[in-house]
Amino acid sequence: MTQIIYVPDDAAALSVGAEEVAMAVEAEIVKRGLDAKLIRTGSRGLFWLEPLVEFATPKGRIGYGPVGVADISAMFDDPAHPHSLGLVEEIPYLKSQQRLTFARCGITDPLSLEDYESLGGLAGLRRALDMNGTDIVEQVVDSGLRGRGGAGFPTGIKWRTVGATQADQKYIVCNADEGDSGTFADRMLMEGDPFLLIEGMIIAGIAVGATKGFVYIRSEYPHAFAKMTRAIEVANAKGLLGNAVLGSGHCFDLELRLGAGAYICGEETSLLESLEGRRGQVRPKPPLPAIAGLFGKPTVINNVLSLAAVPTILAQGAAFYRDFGMGRSRGTMPVQLAGNVRRGGLIERAFGLTLREIIEEYGGGAASGRPVRAVQVGGPLGSYWPQRLLDTPFDYETFAEKSGMIGHGGVVVFDDTVDMARQARFALEFCAIESCGKCTPCRIGSTRGAETMDKIIQGDRPMENMALVRDLCEVLRDGSLCALGGLTPMPVLSAMDHFPEDFSRPAKAAAE
Amino acid sequence: MTITVQKNLSADFNPDRVREIAEGLQALDGPLLPILHAVNDQCGFVDERALPIIADVLNLTRAEVQGVVSFYHDFRRAPAGRHVVKVCRAEACQAMGAENLIAGLEKSFGVKLGETSKDGRVTLEAVYCLGNCALSPAALIDGKLYGRLDAAKAQARLSK
């Protein structure tokens, strides 16, 4: 029987040598004359174990990781090699997860539509093809799915608006401009299970009467762009996309567009401007994109994870999805654990998991072995939280009550060497670098804020300058059109509120 | 539209090539970014002289094209070095010592962030998140992603 061996070609796995490992595995197969076959997959999201090599066995897949080229030969000799992890599915980090969106990621060949279908793919689309648009939309509304990009707006309500708007052309736009530091779930999904996103977009198209979709992928993700390009080619060739979706009367075409290194284009109206070929400057709302979006037409614009949740909702029913979660946060959230943490990776669980469980039980604490001092949740515009807030459950409303946000689900861990005044300064500097320039508080206030923060760091009248920064943050929050200016105060104020000791050091100490 | 590693091709400007790229992509919905990416990739940067040609093909003003080119970080206005190192300085990488990595790279390449070395060997640029946040610090070196990077490894990669 042919021995199947799996090695990821996910960008993160490649960044620590998965390509070299795959080549060494191939060479070893040839050298030993084995009846074996190498399959490249996405990543399981257990990044501290990458490169993770898996051998198929009758009991399940046995994993080895992290594997270097030098380990390969011994791994073939000895199934109980020191890097053996046993059955991958039994690794507690993975076993305790509730993977709905990431159910296939790291398991299948991402470009095999046959593999996709054999593991439950296309069931949602097939069901949608037997329904009318309104019923599909109502399923998504009933599921309680909220936008996974960060804003948490109910996805089904957005779809309902687009569905109810009459137009000769409507669009589905996927926001794959995953710019938040500490997030990589969109990237992993596009690289590891691209057909899921494609399926979700087709269902959205059928639901609202749109026949064309665009995926806007950031240029920092060349691997995801390449994988999606090939997946769309396969989908076109196999009749998943095109004039007759799976032989039905529905047509749906999908195109990719590459971003050009602007964080602001993750904001939906900037993204639409960029897609149209303009500077990525924020549009005022109204009109909502659902009524006048891309090229002035009604447009569903959703994050990768929102669209990728839809096939599960259609296949298993709204109630199945809604039964996961807590409060008004329904379903599962792919949490991305990153930064200074021992076991960083993707954790898809129902809402309600606490930050402490994420960081300590999954993450195993700081990679440096030092105490965890601060955690930033929700990307560069998310709050910095101290230890005492770590028992907060992952839930949109609970986070908001504590002046935080879950955003796109990124959790970045810092140990006790972090200087929170510098982090606050960085938040303002980042806003200055990435501001689209439309609103004055964001365009100019961010630069003035960074300068004022420099004074605080130098010990120059810290109390007076902190009052100035607070005042400026209020103007940014209230006077900006979009979330970049509006939320930059979150990391700044949370750092000042929760870590005041970092902002009031004597001038001398800060000078070194 | 393809992604290729940035190459510092000769700065010889070929207006016909630019027109050919622009005309080849003009039928796309929202063609300007794909055209600029293609010019940037194939010519190494977006030459000033390309702007009126692209504007002409798309029936835009030169100012409109200029505005788009200057808005996005990706579009180069001058050739890059033979090697391009894009190092992440966003929060997750900061938590794992990105600032030290950057200082080390600046020292070993003899350039500041955002500059190209005088001998044209290397361009060092900041990037804000490469989506490799669980394996920080990260950088893209000539289009290849690296995780858990240090300055010595980056230097070794360039010496290959």
CATH number at residue A304: 3.40.50.11540
Amino acid at B43: C
Contacts of A338 in chain B (CB under 8 A): 92, 133-134, 136
Within this chain, do residues A404 and A331 fall inside the same structural domain, yes or no?
A: yes
Residue among A51, A47, A46 nearest A38 (CA):
A51
How far, in Å, CA of A285 to CA of A298, rounded? Answer: 14
Instruction: Indicate the residue of B72, B92, B131 with minimum beta-carbon distance to A221.
Output: B131
pLDDT at residue B5 is higher than 70: no
φ, ψ dihedrals at A353, nearest 5°:
-65, 140
Length of chain A in terms of residues written: 512
CB pairs under 8 A between A and B: 165
Tally of CB atoms within 10 A around B56: 13
Q: Could you please report the per-residue DSSP string of B16-32?
A: HHHHHHHHHHTTSSS-H
Gap from B144 CA to chain A (nearest CA, Å):
8
Between residues B11 and A266, which one has the greater pLDDT?
A266
Instruction: Count each helix (H run) and each strand (E run) in chain A, helices first.
Output: 23, 16
Give the residue from A21, A181, A362 with the most B CB atoms within 10 Å of its CB, the best one to mutate.
A181
Q: Across the interface, do A380 and B73 touch by the CB < 8 Å criterion? A: no
- Report pLDDT for A15: 98
**B125-134 confidence digits (pLDDT tens):** 999 999 999 9
Q: Which of A283, A298, A322 is the last residue of a domain?
A: A322
B72 touches chain A (CB under 8 A): yes
Look up the domain containing A192 and give its range.
113-322
Nearest chain A alpha carbon to B98: A339
Could you tell me the sign of the dihedral formed by the alpha carbons of A456, A460, A463, A467, in that order? negative
Which residues, in sequence order, are CB contacts of A470 under 8 Å at separation 6+? A493, A496
Token reading at B108: 């070993």
Please provide the DSSP assignment of B51-64 as one string: HHHHHHHHT--HHH
The Cα of A325 is separated from the nearest Cα of chain B by a number of Å equal to 25
Q: What is the pLDDT of residue B6?
A: 46
The gap from C-alpha A401 to its chain's centroid, in whole angstroms, comes to: 23
Domain contains A253: yes
State whether A357 and A494 are in the same domain. no
- State how beta strands B122-127 and B115-116 pair: antiparallel
Rg of chain A (C-alpha set):
24
Q: How far is CA A226 from CA A171, A426, B2, B29, in A?
A: 23, 32, 8, 20
Query: Are A221 and A124 in the same domain?
Result: yes
Same domain (yes/no): A223, A140: yes
Q: DSSP readout, B33-92?
A: HHHHHHHHHHHSS--TTHHHHHHHHHT--HHHHHHHHHH-TTS-SS---SEEEEEE-SHH
- Tell me the three state secondary structure of residue A199: helix
Block residue for tokens 């599962």: A332
Take residue B22 and report the two structure tokens written for it: 């622009």
Token pair in block for residue B149 = 């990077």
Answer yes or no: do A262 and B30 touch at CB < 8 A.
Answer: no
The three-state secondary structure class of A315 is: helix
Residues A186 and A203 in one domain: yes
* Separation of alpha carbons B70 and B77, rounded Å: 9
Chain A residues with CB under 8 Å of B114 CB are: none
CB contact under 8 A, A277 and B68: yes
Pairing label, strands A3-8, A36-41 = parallel
Q: How far is CA A441 from the centre of its chain?
A: 28
Interchain proximity A183–B93, CB inside 8 Å: no
Say if CB B25 and CB B38 are below 8 A apart. yes
- What are the backbone angles phi and psi of residue B137, rounded to the nearest 5°? -80, 155
| Closest CB to B145 among A15, A345, A415 | A15
Q: What is the pLDDT along chain A (512 residues), one digit of tens a residue?
A: 899 999 999 999 999 999 999 999 999 999 999 999 999 999 999 999 999 999 999 999 999 999 999 999 999 998 788 889 999 999 999 999 999 999 999 999 999 999 999 999 999 999 999 999 999 999 999 999 999 999 999 999 999 999 999 999 999 999 999 999 999 999 999 999 999 999 999 999 999 999 999 999 999 999 999 999 999 999 999 999 999 999 999 999 999 999 999 999 999 999 999 999 999 999 999 999 999 999 999 999 999 999 999 999 999 999 999 999 999 999 999 999 999 999 999 999 999 999 999 999 999 999 999 999 999 999 999 999 999 999 999 999 999 999 999 999 999 999 999 999 999 999 999 999 999 999 999 999 999 999 999 999 999 999 999 999 999 999 999 999 999 999 999 999 999 999 999 998 776 554 44
Best of B132, B144, B149 to substitute, by most chain A Cβ atoms within 10 angstroms, is B132
Name the one residue in this structure whose structure tokens are 């009126």.
B52
β-strand pairing of B139-141 with B144-146: antiparallel
Q: Could you tell me which of A427, B141, A323 has the C-alpha nearest to residue B151?
A: B141
Lookup: tokens for A244: 């007759």
Whole-angstrom Cα distance, residue A221 to residue A176? 9
Instruction: Kindly give, in sequence order, each residue whose CB lies less than 8 Å from that of residue A290, ignoring residues fewer than 6 positions away.
Output: A158, A161, A162, A165, A298, A299, A300
Q: What is the pLDDT of residue A508?
A: 53
Q: Which domains does chain B have, with CATH numbers?
A: 15-71 (no CATH), 83-159 (3.40.30.10)
Per the domain annotation, does A101 fall within a domain? no
- Kindly report the backbone phi and psi dihedral angles of residue A384, in degrees, each rounded to the nearest multiple of 5, phi listed first: -90, 125
Whether A65 and A83 have beta carbons less than 8 Å apart is answered as: yes
Q: Which of B28, B35, B78 is nearest to B56 (CA)?
A: B35
Distance CA(B131)–CA(A10), nearest Å, equals 11
- How many independent structural domains does chain A possess? 4
Which residues of chain B have a CB within 8 Å of the CB of A276?
30
Final residue belonging to a domain, choices A415, A437, A472: A415
**What pLDDT is attached to residue A507?**
64
Calculate how close chain B gets to A336, using CA atoms only, in Å: 8
Contact residues, chain A, for B144 at CB < 8 Å: 14
What six digits make up the tokens of B90? Answer: 């966003």
Pair (A187, A204) in one structural domain: yes
Q: Are the beta carbons of A262 and B72 separated by less than 8 Å?
A: yes
Answer yes or no: is pLDDT of B9 > 50. no
The span from the CA of A486 to the CA of A479, in Å, is: 7
- What is the helix (H) or strand (E) element at residue A303, kind and residue range? strand A299-303
Q: How far is A32 from chain B (nearest CA, A)?
A: 30
User: Residue with structure tokens 């939309």?
Assistant: A137
* Chain A touched by B94 (CB under 8 Å): yes
Helix (H) and strand (E) counts for chain B?
7, 5
CA–CA gap between residue B78 and residue B87 (Å, rounded) = 19
Give the C-alpha distances (Å, rounded to integers) separating A201 from A208, A210, A251, A316.
Answer: 11, 10, 12, 17
Q: Is pLDDT of B10 > 70?
A: no
Calculate the CA A324 to chain-centre distance.
19
Residue A340, SS3? coil
Cα separations (Å) of A96 from A93, A123, A339, A346, A349? 6, 25, 22, 12, 8
Pair A140, A280 in one domain: yes
Residue A103 lies in a domain: no
For residues A399 and A428, state if they share a domain.
no
**Would the CB atoms of B133 and A410 count as touching at under 8 Å?**
yes
Tell me which residue has tokens 């269902």: A203
The dihedral over CA atoms of A279, A280, A286, A287, expressed in degrees to the nearest 10, equals 70
Say yes or no to pLDDT of B11 above 60: no
Q: Among candidates B36, B21, B47, B107, which has minimal Cα distance to A274?
A: B36
Given A415, A444, A470, which residue is the final one in a domain? A415
**Whether residue A145 is found in the same domain as residue A272:** yes
Of the CA atoms within 13 Å of residue A36, those in its CB half-sphere come to 21
Instruction: Kindly give the interhelix angle for A194-208 and A222-237, rounded to the nearest 10 degrees.
Output: 60
Whether the CA torsion B7, B11, B12, B15 is positive or negative: it is positive
How far is the alpha carbon of A12 from chain B, nearest alpha carbon, in Å? 6
Q: Does A389 touch chain B (CB under 8 A)?
A: no
pLDDT for residue B159:
79
Output the CA torsion B150→B152→B157→B160 (10° steps). Answer: -170
Residue of A nearest to B2 (CA): A226
Q: Chain B: give the shortest CA distance to residue A351, in Å.
A: 21
Q: How far is A142 from chain B (nearest CA, A)?
A: 32
CATH number of the CATH domain containing A378: 3.10.20.600
**A395 and A453, same domain (yes or no):** no
- Give chain B positions within 8 Å (CB) of A340: 95-96, 136
Looking at beta carbons, which residues of chain A come within 8 Å of B67? 278-279
Identify whether residues A208 and A232 lie together within a single domain.
yes
Cβ–Cβ gap B128/A178 under 8 Å: no
B-contacting residues of A 204-223, CB under 8 Å? 214, 219-223
The alpha carbon of residue A394 is apart from the nearest alpha carbon of chain B, in Å, by 19
Q: Provide the whole-model pTM.
A: 0.96
Residue B113 at interface with chain A, using a CB cutoff of 8 Å:
no
ipTM, interface predicted TM-score of the complex = 0.94
> Is A184 in contact with B143 (Cβ distance < 8 A)?
no
CATH number of the structural domain spanning residue A502: 1.20.1440.230
Does a structural domain hold residue A88?
yes
Q: ∠ CA(B114), CA(B118), CA(B124), 5° rounding?
A: 25
Q: Are residues A386 and A449 in the same domain?
A: no
